[in-house]
Structure 1
């Protein structure tokens, strides 16, 4: 089986050069550049640093980033990896298929680039030779961990995601990559601004106890004479590799015993915008329709344009009053997250021309609630992560980033969860499609003021908890305090969000005709 897969790998590698001469030359040039960059990277670090703590810190950081990429990239994009299910018809057991795929991974251009980087590390770090077998073992374990991580991540993605949701997962990965770019820029800028490089030292200290950076930190420990710590770090890498390998064999066994649900080939899937990126189920279809509204409906565009005005005005008032710059920098984003989530409190009325379909077809209330919140969450969560990085930049202390992210994401989830309840509990007529976004219908029932006031008050009260916990962590920026603030903000916000979807769904199921009557009153 290994020999057969090896021949297949050779054919796939050579297939990149098929086609015109210019295409083959372009592929060859890109491969040479990739291998050259991988081989030059360790020497580039040596040119700008001298043997010592700073070089060790940079080695841990660079190694952690590379191994983390080997683990994370296949989770979001596994198109170039062989699928275990493709070998279900071969007369071989799941163990043989898993071992063959694992072994033949070494014959890939990505592993060749990794190998070039690891070999260059050995020659660019002559001080590592004093560590003896620890340095060599660390590089070998790093290579094995990368191979197993790639196989595990790609296999997990192919089993859980499959082709049906692959496009959405790739989009999510791209959004997350963009979201963390400001953090990377901030860390680099802070490291150059600081004489002690404390940002890099603290980051390397944390990553050195993860499977991504432990192998490279072990070399530094061995050179410093701390053999027990070095062995403990190598054990972390080996244990993580073993755990991922066991999971990989389990994934291959499940892949060979199951098949992916086939798509309906008779249904048209092209030219449908957001609908072709979501599966044909109630909640995803409603989410696709809401995303289409946000993209085309001027009522939603006006709201999105108006949302940043309130945080800017509040911050300006605080600065005029002489408030601390740190407080002024931390305020805009949670206010924006609160208003973004709260703006969905009457989203059901904005959809007045289509809500009858939900009631008439018997769609579950939770599906209606969850689908309507998708645009706010898909836009708000990346904005919260990106905005938190920018907020921390102005605050000047990178250690509070987890607390700031937990606060902002928690407030967003709380506001959307509350809005999910009140859009079904206290709806009121909204601007009809095609009318001016600034026109508000008048009616004699419980007006918009009561719904807006009560929903905002509930969202504010529930947001006190994550804001308070994060404020305490920001005031005393310890590592454990900030991690607790991040976990509490995410956990509490998720509980409120899921609770809001469940409660709002029950209300929708029970009061569907009444909701329909309110939203249709002027149609």
Structure 2
């Protein structure tokens, strides 16, 4: 089985060059570029840094990122990876298939780039030779971790997600990539502006105890003479490899004994816009419809254009009053996040007559609540993370980036969670489709002012906690304080969001007919 799969791997590697001459030249140029970067980057760091100190910190940080990508990339995009289910017709046991796929992973271009990088590291770091046996063992374990991580990530993605949800998973991965960009800017900016590089040192200290940074931190410990700590780090790395390998064999066995639910080949999958990218489940379908609304409905476009006006006005007022520039820079984004999430407090009324489908078909309330949050979260989270990098740029201290991200994301999640409750609890008639977005129907019931005021007050009160914690971390910019502010802001926001979806869903289930009556008063 190994020999057969080895020949298949070689054929797949060579298949990249098949086709036109232009395509083959483009692929060859890309591979040469990747191999060149992998070979030169370790020497480039050596040219600009001295042994020990910042060089060790960079090796741990960069090494951890590279090994983490070996797990995350195939987890979010496994289209180009072989999966055990493809070998279901072969007369081989699941263990043989899993072992063969694991061993032959080395016959791939990505692993060749990884191998070139590890070899270049060994030759670019002559001081590593003083680590004795720990140096080669650490690099070998790093390569093994990359192999097992690739197989585990791609296998888990194919088994748990499958082709039906692969598009949404890739979209999530793309959003996360955009969200990570400010963090990379933060690391680069901090390394350029600081003489002590304390943030990088603290980050490397944390990453050194993860499986991804452990091999490179272990080499540094061995050079310093701390063999016990180095051995402990290698134990963490080896244990992770064993756990991922066992999980991979289990994934392979499950994949070979189960089949994915087939798609309906007669259903149309082209020309449906957002509906092509979401599975045919209640919450995802509602999310796709809401995204379509945001894209085409002028009522939503006007709201998105109007949302930035309030933060700009607040900042202008603070600057005119003589407030500090750093304070003025920190205000616009959380205000925008609050308004973006709060703007969903009457989203259910925007459906007009379409809401009857939810009530008549018996869609669960939580599915309606969760699906409606997709546009605000998919748009708001990247804006919160990217905008936070611009905020700290004006504030002049990149050390507070985690706290600023935690504050902005937390406020967004809290506001959307509160809006999920009030959208079902206190709906009021909204502008009908096709009417001017500036026209608001008059209604003698529980007015729009009450719903807007109460929902805004609740969102503001719940937002005090993450804003307070983040403000304390910004005032005293320590690494652990900022990390705690980030985790608290996101965690507290998620709790409020999930609670809002659950409570709003229960209200929707109980008051479905009343909600339908409110939305159709003028139809």
TM-score bracket for the superposition, by shorter chain length: over 0.9
Match of 2:442 in 1: 442
Report the Cα distance in structure 2 between the residues aligned to 1:430 and 1:2, rounded to whole angstroms: 64
By how many angstroms is 1:343 displaced?
A: 0.2
Match of 2:110 in 1: 110
By how many angstroms is 1:161 displaced?
A: 1.3
Give the stretch that moved more between structures: 406-415 or 335-344. 406-415
Match of 1:366 in 2: 366
By how many angstroms is 1:458 displaced?
A: 1.2
1:327-342 equivalent positions in 2, closer than 5 A: 327-342=327-342
1:203-282 equivalent positions in 2, closer than 5 A: 203-282=203-282
Report the Cα distance in structure 1 between the residues aligned to 2:514 and 2:224, rounded to whole angstroms: 73
By how many angstroms is 1:400 displaced?
A: 3.1
Give the stretch that moved more between structures: 332-341 or 482-491. 482-491
Would the aligned equivalents of 1:413 and 1:496 in 2 still touch at CA under 8 Å? Answer: yes
Match of 1:508 in 2: 508
Match of 1:321 in 2: 321
By how many angstroms is 1:93 displaced?
A: 1.9
Where 1:352 maps in the other structure, the secondary structure is helix
Match of 2:167 in 1: 167
Report the Cα distance in structure 2 between the residues aligned to 1:250 and 1:327, rounded to whole angstroms: 53
By how many angstroms is 1:190 displaced?
A: 2.4
Match of 1:70 in 2: 70
Report the Cα distance in structure 2 between the residues aligned to 1:482 and 1:467, rounded to whole angstroms: 12
Deviations 1:375-397, CA, capped at 9 Å, x for gaps: 11111112222222332333333
Would the aligned equivalents of 1:186 and 1:393 in 2 still touch at CA under 8 Å? Answer: no
Match of 1:420 in 2: 420
1:25-424 equivalent positions in 2, closer than 5 A: 25-424=25-424
Show structure 1 runs of 4+ deviating over 6 A.
none
By how many angstroms is 1:361 displaced?
A: 2.0
Would the aligned equivalents of 1:414 and 1:494 in 2 still touch at CA under 8 Å? Answer: yes
Match of 2:492 in 1: 492
Report the Cα distance in structure 1 between the residues aligned to 2:236 and 2:393, rounded to whole angstroms: 33
Deviations 1:466-520, CA, capped at 9 Å, x for gaps: 2223223333334443333333322222222122112212222222222122111
Between Structure 1 and Structure 2, how many residues are aligned? Answer: 523
- TM normalised by structure 2 equals 0.96
Report the Cα distance in structure 2 between the residues aligned to 1:400 and 1:92, rounded to whole angstroms: 55
Deviations 1:106-143, CA, capped at 9 Å, x for gaps: 11000001111111111111221122211111111111
Report the Cα distance in structure 1 between the residues aligned to 2:346 and 2:423, rounded to whole angstroms: 5
Report the Cα distance in structure 2 between the residues aligned to 1:65 and 1:509, rounded to whole angstroms: 45
Match of 2:22 in 1: 22
Instruction: Give 5+ residue unaligned stretches, structure 1.
Output: none
Give the stretch that moved more between structures: 25-34 or 156-165. 25-34
By how many angstroms is 1:169 displaced?
A: 1.2
Report the Cα distance in structure 2 between the residues aligned to 1:225 and 1:405, rounded to whole angstroms: 39
Matched, 1:469 2:469: yes
Report the Cα distance in structure 1 between the residues aligned to 2:49 and 2:359, rounded to whole angstroms: 67
Give the stretch that moved more between structures: 46-55 or 512-521. 46-55
- TM normalised by structure 1 equals 0.96
CA 1:199–1:498 in structure 2 vs 1: closer, same or farther (change >3 Å)? Answer: closer
Report the Cα distance in structure 2 between the residues aligned to 1:329 and 1:26, rounded to whole angstroms: 45
Deviations 1:231-279, CA, capped at 9 Å, x for gaps: 2222222122122112111211221121111111110010000011111
Would the aligned equivalents of 2:470 and 2:482 in 1 still touch at CA under 8 Å? Answer: yes
Would the aligned equivalents of 1:341 and 1:376 in 2 still touch at CA under 8 Å? Answer: yes
Report the Cα distance in structure 2 between the residues aligned to 1:377 and 1:203, rounded to whole angstroms: 28
Where 2:373 maps in the other structure, the secondary structure is helix
Deviations 1:126-165, CA, capped at 9 Å, x for gaps: 2211222111111111111111111111111111111111
Where 2:270 maps in the other structure, the secondary structure is coil
Give the stretch that moved more between structures: 161-170 or 392-401. 392-401
Where 1:29 maps in the other structure, the secondary structure is helix
By how many angstroms is 1:317 displaced?
A: 1.8
Deviations 1:412-466, CA, capped at 9 Å, x for gaps: 1211111111111111111111111111111222211111001111111122222
Deviations 1:364-411, CA, capped at 9 Å, x for gaps: 222211111111111111222222233233333344333322222222
Would the aligned equivalents of 1:344 and 1:420 in 2 still touch at CA under 8 Å? Answer: yes
Report the Cα distance in structure 2 between the residues aligned to 1:9 and 1:272, rounded to whole angstroms: 36
Report the Cα distance in structure 2 between the residues aligned to 1:190 and 1:521, rounded to whole angstroms: 57
Report the Cα distance in structure 1 between the residues aligned to 2:146 and 2:278, rounded to whole angstroms: 32
Report the Cα distance in structure 1 between the residues aligned to 2:38 and 2:249, rounded to whole angstroms: 30
Report the Cα distance in structure 1 between the residues aligned to 2:497 and 2:59, rounded to whole angstroms: 41
Supply the RMSD in Å over aligned alpha carbons.
1.7
Where 2:266 maps in the other structure, the secondary structure is coil
Where 1:353 maps in the other structure, the secondary structure is helix
Instruction: Give 5+ residue unaligned stretches, structure 2.
Output: none
CA 1:295–1:262 in structure 2 vs 1: closer, same or farther (change >3 Å)? Answer: same
Would the aligned equivalents of 2:399 and 2:477 in 1 still touch at CA under 8 Å? Answer: yes
Would the aligned equivalents of 1:409 and 1:490 in 2 still touch at CA under 8 Å? Answer: yes
